[in-house]
């Protein structure tokens, strides 16, 4: 984080999980521990931090910890949530 010119450090839980052979498991304890370690280092450095929040509750928690940039999903996850919401209340 000491490299001049870094404007924002973003922790990508999916990418991190994949990098340690835990693809699709961003809530795995090992992934979470690595994210916490990265978060602490970034926050200590003074470089603004960003990340991915999958819910409003998670976003608010991240904001409380000092995050200044949040993605609330990506194309596929937003599409998936929209489809799931459209089926709410339909008798099957």
Structure confidence at residue 87 (pLDDT): 81
CA torsion sign for 58, 71, 82, 16 is negative
State the pLDDT confidence band at 34, using cuts at 50, 70 and 90.
Answer: very high
Contact 44, 4 (CB under 8 A): no
Q: From the DSSP assignment, how many helices (H) and strands (E) are in the chain?
A: 4, 3
pLDDT tens digits along 68-78: 999 886 666 66
Determine the pLDDT at residue 38: 95
Residue 67 has pLDDT above 70, yes or no: yes
Q: What is the pLDDT of residue 56?
A: 87
pTM: 0.75
Contact 69, 47 (CB under 8 A): no
């Amino acid at each position: 984080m000491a490299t001049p010119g870094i404007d924002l450090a973003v922790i990508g839980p999916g990418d991190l999980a994949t990098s340690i052979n835990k693809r699709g498991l961003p809530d795995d304890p090992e992934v979470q521990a690595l994210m916490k370690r990265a978060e602490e280092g970034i926050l200590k450095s003074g470089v603004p931090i960003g990340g991915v929040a999958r819910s409003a509750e998670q976003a608010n928690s991240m904001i409380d910890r000092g995050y200044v940039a949040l993605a609330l999903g990506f194309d596929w996850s937003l599409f998936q949530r929209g489809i799931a919401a459209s089926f709410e209340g339909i008798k099957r």
